[in-house]
Amino acid sequence: MAPVHLLTGPDLELEQIERWRLESLERAGYDRESAVVLAYSHEVDLHQATWLLEHGCSVELALQILL
């Protein structure tokens, strides 16, 4: 049986933030794959990513702008 690795402290907090970012991006309209890429790209501004879709930008164009 493989050992279980429990996240604590900063690792747990980072995982929670990334999960929240992923869920927010999916709610904004990003498909799962695109949302994962953006959620784990910490230099990407979440508010800008959602703003782009809210103002008519396609997911493909938003990814080009953000990444």
pLDDT value of position 3: 56
pLDDT for res 7: 62
The pTM of this model reads 0.84
Give me the residues of the chain with pLDDT under 70, please: 1-8
State residue 61's pLDDT score: 98
Identity of residue 13: E
Delimit the domains of the chain by residue range: 9-66
pLDDT of residue 13: 93
Half-sphere exposure of 61 (CA within 13 A, CB side): 8
* Residue partners of 47: CB distance under 8 A and separation at least 6: none
**Gap between the Cα atoms of 6 and 43, Å rounded:** 26
pLDDT at 5: 59
Alpha-carbon gap, residue 58 to 67, rounded angstroms? 14
Tokens at 34, concatenated? 């695109």
